[in-house]
Homo-oligomer: A and B are copies of this chain.
Amino acid sequence: MRLTTRGRYAVTAMLDLALNIEKRPVTLSEIADRQGISQSYLEQLFSKLRKKGLVDGTRGPGGGYKLGRSAALISVGDVISAVNEPVDATQCGGQKNCRGENPCLTHDLWQELSLQIQNFLSGVSLKELMDKESKNSGAKAPLTSLTPIHMQVNSAIKTSVF
């Protein structure tokens, strides 16, 4: 799991898409304008999102993108891991042949933690974020915390490959 501005862009774009879809698909130029992201950069991100089934694209006039499935079934973790290459960064490549007294000791621990982060992000759906927004729309109330995270998520959400 990697968490950079790239994932932020992807989540932002997906949220914009989910929030602005009415009947017609949403075009990338709309999202680019609203969110201030380069359209061609969005094209690259959406190429990856499409290959993971998170969005569906239709070409031609009136075309654009729509969500590949219900916003409730798309997790933030799905989006972020879709646009990032998986990280390795161990000197042994997960083969536990690191020399020394403590082979891969902390590596295992990090991998475990990484999995926890992944699970956490799989527990937050786009829909939750959308609902959060509609509650605060218009009102100037400060953003409070999200609803308590349930670690046991719908198994349908857990389809994201690490």
Contact = CB atoms under 8 A, between A and B. Distances in A.
Interface stretch (A51-59, A65-73, A97-105, A153-161): A97-105
30 contacts: A1-B3, A2-B3, A2-B4, A3-B3, A4-B4, A4-B87, A5-B87, A5-B89, A8-B110, A9-B89, A11-B110, A12-B110, A15-B105, A16-B106, A19-B102, A19-B105, A34-B100, A34-B101, A35-B106, A36-B98, A105-B133, A108-B133, A109-B129, A109-B132, A109-B133, A112-B143, A116-B124, A117-B121, A120-B120, A120-B149
Copies of this chain assembled into the complex: 2
A124 B72 CA distance: 27
A15 B120 contact: no
Interface string A79-119: 00000000101111000001011100111111111011101
B3 A91 contact: no
Contacts of A149: 116, 120, 151
A110 to B, nearest CB: 6
A145 interface: yes
Contacts of A139: none
A148 interface: yes
Contacts of A132: 109, 112
A129 B116 contact: no
Interface residues of A, number: 53
Contact of A113 (B2, B102, B129): B129
